[in-house]
Amino acid sequence: MGIAERKQREKEERIRHIQNCAAVVFYQKGFADTTMEEIAGRAELSKATLYLYYRSKDDLFYSIIEPALNKLGKRLIKIASNRDEPADETIRKIIDATYRLYEKDPEAYHVLSRYNAAEFADILPKNRLDHLKDIMRSNLRQMEETIRKGIEQGLFIKSDPKLLSIILWNCYMGVIQYQENRMEPGKSDYRKSTLDAAVELILRGMRKR
Q: What is the pLDDT of residues 78-113, one digit of tens each?
A: 999 999 999 999 999 999 999 998 898 888 888 888
pLDDT confidence of residue 158: 95
Per-residue buried b or exposed e for 46-75, using 16+ beta carbons within 10 Å of the residue's own CB? eeeebeebbeebbebbbbbbbebbebbbeb
Output the pTM of the full model.
0.87
Which regions of the chain carry the CATH code 1.10.10.60?
1-54
Which regions of the chain carry the CATH code 1.10.357.10?
56-206
Average pLDDT over residues 143-159: 96
**What letter represents residue 119's amino acid?**
E
Average pLDDT over residues 156-183: 93
Of 3.10.110.10, 3.40.50.720, 3.60.110.10, 1.10.10.60, the CATH number of 1-54 is 1.10.10.60
Of 15-19, 21-25, 29-33, 195-199, the least confident: 29-33
* Residue scoring higher pLDDT (123 or 192): 192
In the three-class reduction of DSSP (H, G, I as helix; E, B as strand; rest coil), residue 156 is classed as strand
Q: Measure the CA–CA gap between 65 and 19, rounded to whole angstroms.
A: 10
For the domain made up of 56-206, the CATH class stated in words is: mainly alpha
Structural contact between residues 25 and 39, judged by C-beta atoms closer than 8 angstroms: yes
pLDDT confidence of residue 6: 78
Q: CA angle, 80 as apex, 100 and 151 as ends, to 5°?
A: 120
CB half-sphere exposure, 31, CA atoms < 13 A: 24
pLDDT confidence of residue 70: 93
With bands split at pLDDT 50, 70 and 90, how would you rate the model's confidence at 1? Answer: low
CB burial of residue 198 (10 Å; 0-12, 13-18, 19+): middle
pLDDT of residue 181 exceeding 70: yes
pLDDT confidence of residue 61: 92
